Amino acid sequence: MTRIHSLMTGPAPLLGENPGRRETRDDYWRAGGYRDLSPDVLFNRVNAAGLRGRGGAGFPAAAKLRAVRASGAVPVVVANGAEGEPGSAKDRWLMRARPHLVLDGMLRAVDMTRAACCYVYVADDEAADSMGRALAEREPVVPTRIVRPEPTYVAGEETAAVRRINGGPALPTAKPPRPFEAGVDGAPTLVANVETLARIALLATRSQIPDSLLLTVSGRGLEPELVEAPVGTSVQALAYRADRLDTPGVLMGGVFGGILDPRRLATALEPAALDAAGSALGCGAVHFLAPGECPVALAADGLVWLAGESSRQCGVCVSGTTALARTMTSVVAGTAEPDDLARLGRWSQSLRRRGACGLLDAAANLAASVLRTFGPLVETHLDGGCPGCAADRTPDADRFRVEPPTVRTTSHPVSAPR
């Protein structure tokens, strides 16, 4: 079962006062939510806070809002809670436990962009039910609909969300145009991660909020945790709490951030420091290897998972992810040749930015991180010399899935709308 923990020195703004129970509308109102605030004042707060999207790409939220608002057409807002990244549970938990925080942020995005309608885009049954009840408890001022994609990695990509809402499959499309230029029904569309929207709602209740991270921490043999921590917390602090200071590697950002060198545990969880370490925070998923586990085998599992999640629209993605997964798996099995390592090195560079979405980039990043950080260990596999890898090992692509913490639902009477 996934636990909840705060590393904040004061209140944890996203976890709230009672993270184990679903927050009702009246709970949220009593905590200061849904209060009137000028959209322009809130936009200035978002801009001053330097809020970046929390879906993985980290794009400045104010820049997205500004682009949609300045389009000259009537926009659409999409609350993106698809959360297809491996090892991440934060978005599903937010929608299950704090649906009114997400809803408040979505409605404030509607106000700031002057949108005419909005969509809640969610693949998880319990999260969709919780958001549906929140919409019934506080009916929004613009038409709002819940749209359900299949729970896949690519379904959360912003053009895939637009395509699904438009009645098609949840598969990425070529860019340009970006959704902020032409999205749902051709209208400029703000596709915002639900955690980003939750933080916008928090900024509406106070001019400043603690700069925190919502992280999903997991690993084989660990009880997963949803952790709220200050920005700048070190990876080492998470490893200490998980009793994994002797970890042989840390898979960062779902799979997009690659495997962090265990000698870099002192790295701060903030973009510049992680970039300097050759990694990235992405969706905030942090997966610690257990002592004795092989980072090369972990990479093979990740590449097999990514190959299976390919939407199979781009030939380069189908062939690229398949080749990376097959070759890394043969390395783990001890059946690869020296030329295979050279091919892995070339592919990890040449396949970047060649697909319609970030899946192929994630695969290239993962392979590159292993070759860069664990080169000697990779070479020991050529003669079957890795003690942590059995020759008949079967790839375990399911190892990354983490369920959100349990959320209790308490029935409260719903009072008249305020």
Domain count, the chain: 2
- Give the residue-averaged pLDDT of 344-362: 90
| Whether residue 136 has pLDDT greater than 60 | yes
- Give the residue-averaged pLDDT of 79-106: 96
| Whether residue 96 has pLDDT greater than 50 | yes
In a domain, 149, yes or no: yes
In a domain, 129, yes or no: yes
pLDDT of residue 414: 41
How sure is the predictor about 391, in pLDDT bands with cuts at 50, 70 and 90? low
Q: Do 190 and 250 share a domain, yes or no?
A: no
> Which of 181, 205, 229 marks a domain boundary?
205
Contact assessment for residue 138 and residue 103, using Cβ atoms and an 8 Å cutoff? yes
For residue 280, what are the domain limits? 214-383
Place of tokens 């400043």: 208
Amino acid letter, residue 40: D
Q: Do 48 and 149 share a domain, yes or no?
A: yes
In a domain, 124, yes or no: yes
Q: Do 376 and 292 share a domain, yes or no?
A: yes
Quick count: other Cβ atoms within 10 Å of Cβ 146? 16
- Give the residue-averaged pLDDT of 258-265: 96
In a domain, 395, yes or no: no
Q: Do 153 and 298 share a domain, yes or no?
A: no
The pTM is what?
A: 0.94
| Whether residue 157 has pLDDT greater than 90 | yes
| Whether residue 58 has pLDDT greater than 80 | no
Q: Do 195 and 57 share a domain, yes or no?
A: yes
| Whether residue 418 has pLDDT greater than 50 | no
CATH code of the domain covering residue 223: 1.20.1440.230
How sure is the predictor about 411, in pLDDT bands with cuts at 50, 70 and 90? low
In a domain, 394, yes or no: no
| Sign of the C-alpha dihedral computed for residues 87, 90, 93 and 99 taken in this order | negative
In a domain, 175, yes or no: yes
Q: Do 300 and 379 share a domain, yes or no?
A: yes
Nearest to 98 by CA among 50, 133, 67: 133
Q: Which residues contact 172 (CB under 8 A, 6 or more apart)?
A: 154, 157, 159, 160, 163, 311, 313, 355, 356, 357
Q: Do 357 and 235 share a domain, yes or no?
A: yes
> Which of 149, 182, 205 marks a domain boundary?
205
CATH code of the domain covering residue 117: 3.40.50.11540
Q: Do 170 and 235 share a domain, yes or no?
A: no
| Whether residue 390 has pLDDT greater than 70 | no
In a domain, 364, yes or no: yes
| Six-digit token string for 317 | 């993605």
Q: Do 157 and 255 share a domain, yes or no?
A: no
> For 5-21, how does the pLDDT look when each residue is reduced to its tens digit (9 = 90+)?
999 999 999 999 999 99
In a domain, 160, yes or no: yes
Q: Do 49 and 173 share a domain, yes or no?
A: yes
Q: Do 84 and 155 share a domain, yes or no?
A: yes
